[in-house]
Amino acid sequence: METLVQRLEKLVPGIVARREEIESGRRVPADIMKAVRDTGIFSLEVPRAIGGQEATPLEALDALEILARADGSVAWCAAQALVTGCVTGFMTEAGAKEIFADPKAVTGGAFAPKGGAVRVDGGVRVSGRWQFISGIHNAEWLMLGCLVLENGQPRMTPMGPEAIHVMVPARTVEIHDTWYVSGLCGTGSQDVSVNDLLVPERHIFVVGDPSRRRPEPLYGMPLLGWYVAHVATVSLGVARAALDEATEGAQRRVPTFTMAPLADQPTAQIELARAEAKLSSARLLLREAIADLWRVVSTGDHPAPRQLAFARMAALNAAEVGASVTRTASLLGGGSAIYSSSSLQRHMRDAEAITHHFSVAQGVWEDVGRVLMGRKPNAPMF
C-alpha cells in the first residue's frame, strides 16, 4: 500500500512545474489543493475518534516538509490546515464530527480575536474582520477568534477579556482582496469579514482551554510551541529546496571572468558546506525539541517551562536559519538568481516572509531567555 509520504512525493514535480503560476495567481490553484487534499495529509492531526489519523508530531512535520520542498505557498496553506485540524481537540465531539465529516477537509483561519461575538439563544452572533487567512480560496471551514461582547464592550473575566473561537463555513465570509506582498505570494492570505453571522453553540470552542481538551496525547502538545513548529518546518523545507537547486546549478554555471564551474571553486564549496551544516543542525534541533515535548505529553504529563522554551527557541532558530540559507543559495546562483524566472529568488522571499510571522518574531527570543533564566515570559501565551 502506498504511504502518505509516497503520495506526497509524487506530487512534488507537478507542483514545482507550476510555481510561477501559483505566485502570479496569488493563490494555490484548486486542482493542486485537491491533489494535496486527496493524499489525506489534512487528516493527520484530526482525532481518530472522528475519522482522522491522529499522527505523531514528527509524522505530521515530515509530511509538511515534503510540500515545503515543492513550494512555500502550498506548504504554508497546508500548515494552517493541519493546525486547524488539531484544534478539533478542543471542540465538542458533535461539532468536530460535523466540520470534519470528511477528515480530509481543507480548513484555515485566524487565532487572534479580531472579531466580536454577542451571545444569543443557541450560540453567538459574530461580526469582524480578520487578516492573513491563508488558503481562503480553497478552504471549506474557517476558525475565527473573537472577543465576547456585552453592551458593546469586551466581557471581562478574572483572566482578562473573554475570548472564544468559532468555526464557520468559508462560503459565509466576504473576501477582501488585500494580498499584494513580497513573499508567500501564492498563499492567498486575504482579509475576510462577516457581519452578524449566527454561529451555533456546537461550533464554539476555546483553543487551549484544558477543561475542554480531548484526552489523546496529541492534543496535550503545548499549543503555541506546536503551532510554530509547523511554521519553522515550512522554512526548513523551502531552504532545503533552495540549497538543492543552487547545488545543481553550480555544476553548470561558470561565473563571469572565471574558467571553472562554480562547483569547482573553493569559495562556493565552503559556503555550501556551511549552509548545509546550519540547515541540518537547525532541523535536528527542532525535531529533537518536538520529540522531547511528545515524550512528555505521551505519558500524560505537562512539559516543563525549560522544555517549552527550547521548543520555541528551536523554531525561532529554524526560521532564521531557513532565511539565511536561502540567501546563501541565491548568492550562489549569481546574477541570474535575481530574475523573476529563478526559483532561488522566490525561495529567498518566501523564507524571509516567514520570519515576519508573529510566532517567530524577534521579541520571542527575550521570552526564551527569560524562561531559561528562571523568569516568567512576558507573553501571556508561551
- pLDDT band for 257, please (50, 70, 90 cuts): confident
Residue 360 to residues 6, 186, 357, 368, Cα–Cα distance (Å):
30, 21, 6, 11
Contacts of residue 342, Cβ cutoff 8 Å, sequence gap at least 6? 333, 336
pTM tops 0.85? yes
Burial class (CB in 10 A: 0-12, 13-18, 19+), 109: buried
Same fold, 109-207 and 221-372: no
pLDDT of res. 210:
83
Longest dimension (CA), the chain: 77
The mean pLDDT of 307-314, rounded to a whole number, is 98
Average pLDDT over residues 33-47: 97
Spell 314-353 as b/e; 16+ CB within 10 A means b: bbbbbbbbbbbbbbbbbebbbeebeeeebbbbbbbbbbbb
Cα dihedral sign, 298-303-307-308:
positive
Distance, C-alpha 341 to centroid of its chain: 26
355-377 pLDDT per residue, tens: 999 999 999 999 999 999 999 99
Per residue in 123-154, pLDDT (tens digit) is 999 999 999 999 999 999 999 999 999 999 99
R_g (Cα) of the chain, nearest Å: 21
Q: How confident is the model at residue 61 (pLDDT cuts 50, 70, 90)?
A: very high
Is pLDDT larger for residue 38 or for residue 253? 38
- Average pLDDT of the chain to the nearest whole number: 95
- The sign of the CA dihedral 156, 159, 164, 165 is positive
Q: Tell me the percentage of the chain whose pLDDT exceeds 90.
A: 90
Q: Which fold, 221-372?
A: Butyryl-CoA Dehydrogenase, subunit A; domain 3 (1.20.140)
CATH code assigned to 4-99: 1.10.540.10
- Name the amino acid, one letter, at 115: G
pLDDT at 91: 92
Task: Quote the pLDDT of residue 366.
Answer: 97
Cell numbers at 286, concatenated: 527542532
Residue 212: per-residue pLDDT: 86
Which CATH number is associated with domain 109-207?
2.40.110.10
pLDDT at 374: 96
| Predicted pLDDT at 361 | 94
Q: Is the pLDDT of residue 380 over 90?
A: no
The C-alpha cell of 56 is what? 505523531
Per-residue cell: 374 = 528562571
- The model's pLDDT over 197-244, given as tens digits with 9 standing for 90+, comes to 999 999 999 988 888 899 999 999 999 999 999 999 999 999 999 999
pLDDT of residue 158: 85
| Cβ pair 72, 19 in contact under 8 A | no
- Which residues partner with 107 through β-bridges? 141
End-to-end alpha carbon distance in the chain: 40
Q: Give the separation between CA 311 and CA 263, rounded to whole angstroms.
A: 36
- Whether pLDDT at 65 is above 90: yes
Tally the C-alpha atoms within 13 A of residue 190's C-alpha that lie toward its C-beta. Answer: 20
For residue 259, the model assigns a pLDDT of 83
Question: How confident is the model over 88-131, as pLDDT tens digits?
Answer: 899 999 999 999 999 999 999 999 999 999 999 999 999 999 99
Please report, for the chain, the start and end positions of each structural domain, with discontinuous segments joined by +. Answer: 4-99, 109-207, 221-372
* Contact call for residues 37 and 104 (beta carbons, < 8 A): yes
